[in-house]
Structure 1
Amino acid sequence: MNKQIEKAYAERPKNTVYQIAVSVIVLVCILWSGSAVEISKGGLSGLSIAGNILNGIFHPEPKLLFNLTIQGVPYLLLETVCIAFLGTLVGAFLAIPLSFLSASNLMPAPIAFISRLIIMAIRTIPAFVYGLMFIRVSGPGAFTGLLTMSVCSIGMVSKMYIEAIEDLDTRILESLDACGCTTFQKIRYGILPQLIPNFASTVIYRFDINLRDATVLGLVGAGGIGAPLIFAMNSYRWNEAGAILVGLVVLVLLVEYISTKIRVKLARG
């Protein structure tokens, strides 16, 4: 057995030149990319700021952290969750017709191709740019964040929906058709039971992403907790920034735990 292994190893394809060429190309790419990196000479000032940030995180401002008014962390976190939640629902609803139009097993090739181009165009623009665009339309506030989250959700959710639709087990539909079921019955008992778990899991996963994106969108005035965070950091109020960051960490961990439990339940039935 050992001799066979040694013989197979000795007769293996010799691709040393190929491996060396790939290694050289990767090394050149790394060196070329590193040439564009500039190390900031922050010195003691940068270390001092980093120390103040860490000190603020470990010593958050209790008056802001437990303030139940509209300026407090709990209200701002609730607003951020609402923006992410409603934005996810609206985006998931709008993604359904686009997904069915893009499914190659349901639609003719030209229609599916055009629909996929639309989805790709939507996914191309970053959420930050959408936020700046919608602020010009509806002004700063939570509604702008809702519109931004909705449009940004369409791209990824549609892509996941399409995969679920194209993976449908057509044998179930053929069995229902053989039993004389109507179109509504085939949708009710053949299509929806296959799609709903995948769709729900996708929506929950997208909500996790939107919750983090909603925080960033607050920086451009699209509602949520992002704006108070950047204002506190720009004013060097590290205790207030620490209180906001502590609230964000707790919120993300809580949502992550709940969403994981729900996704596992959906996957296992």
Structure 2
Amino acid sequence: MQLTVQKQLEKEPNLWIRKALTVSFVIVIMLWASRAIVFNGVKENGVEIAKNVVSGIFHPDMEYLLDFVNGVPALLLETISIALLGTIIGTILAIPLSFMAASNIVPKWVSTITLFVIAAIRTFPAFVYGLMFIRVTGPGAFAGVLTMSVVSIGMISKMFIEAIEDLDTKILESLDAAGCNTFQKVRYGILPQLFTNFVSTAIYRFEINIKDASTLGLVGAGGIGAPLIFAMNAFNWNKVGAILCGLIILVLIVEVASTKIRTKLARG
């Protein structure tokens, strides 16, 4: 037995040269990238500001934190609304794009064009879309909803395409042999395979959109980001702490809830 194992090990290809070249390449890339990063040290009041932020989190403005009319809860509700509507609209728009980009559903040229469109949508970050839509609709939550919708299309479409291309075609062939029409094949052959994956992806994107919607307020696209930057500019650290505490609680709740829902969907 030992001789057999030893012979098998001797037959294994010697990859140390390839591994050494890979490690060397990674090191060279890291050294090259580090040349573009210039560290100018910490600002004179940088440490003090960091202490004030941490102190504000542990000593938040409770009146602002618990004000359900004009305080943190109302701002978080607006942020959730922006993320939810953006996710729903983005998911609806992503479904037809995904089917048009799946190579096992449509001709190759249609799939290639649609994939190019999706890649173009994914090129720009949320901040860029936010600035663009603010110029169109003006500042406010509606610009945030439009931004979240467009940003969501890129990631959701990519995940949907993978799910569609992994469809079990044997089920569709069986339904076709049984004389089912197109609607019945979609209803009983495609939707049951895709529903769980689609819902799980949408929930995961909603979780991401909650965090993105929190920062969109920095450019005036609604949400809790604008009050946060205003409070920081005014050095109102207790108010900053209240907003950050609200965000922390919100993100934790959304992450726990979304994880449980996606786990339940995956396990049926």
Shift of 1:67: 0.6
RMSD, aligned α-carbons? 1.6
Question: In the alignment, what sits opposite 1:39?
Answer: 39
Question: In the alignment, what sits opposite 1:195?
Answer: 194
SS of match in other structure, 1:222: coil
Shift of 1:131: 0.2
Question: In the alignment, what sits opposite 2:242?
Answer: 243
**CA-to-partner distance for each residue in 1:65-113, whole Å, 9 max, x for gaps?**
00111x3000000000000000000000011111111111110110111
Change (3 A) 1:173 1:248: same
- Equivalent AA in structure 2 for residue 226 of structure 1: G
> What is the distance in 2 between the residues matched to 1:226 and 1:23?
41
Alignment of 1:35-184 (within 5 A): 35-42=35-42, 45-69=45-69, 71-184=70-183
Question: In the alignment, what sits opposite 2:260?
Answer: 261
- Equivalent AA in structure 2 for residue 178 of structure 1: A
Taking every aligned residue pair, what percent have the same amino acid on both sides?
60
Change (3 A) 1:125 1:44: closer
Shift of 1:14: 3.9
**CA-to-partner distance for each residue in 1:2-23, whole Å, 9 max, x for gaps?**
4554555566544444444333
**CA-to-partner distance for each residue in 1:10-57, whole Å, 9 max, x for gaps?**
665444444443333322222222223222322652211111110001
Question: In the alignment, what sits opposite 2:218?
Answer: 219
**Which range moves more in the overlay, 149-158 or 14-23?**
14-23
Change (3 A) 1:2 1:108: same
**CA-to-partner distance for each residue in 1:162-211, whole Å, 9 max, x for gaps?**
11111111111121222222222211111111111111011001001111
**CA-to-partner distance for each residue in 1:131-174, whole Å, 9 max, x for gaps?**
00000000000000000000001111111111111111111112
- Equivalent AA in structure 2 for residue 175 of structure 1: S
Return the TM-score normalized by structure 2. 0.94
SS of match in other structure, 1:113: helix
Change (3 A) 1:169 1:15: closer
Shift of 1:257: 1.0
SS of match in other structure, 2:105: coil
> What is the distance in 2 between the residues matched to 1:195 and 1:119?
20
> What is the distance in 2 between the residues matched to 1:87 and 1:78?
14
> What is the distance in 1 between the residues matched to 2:174 and 2:14?
53
**Which range moves more in the overlay, 187-196 or 248-257?**
187-196
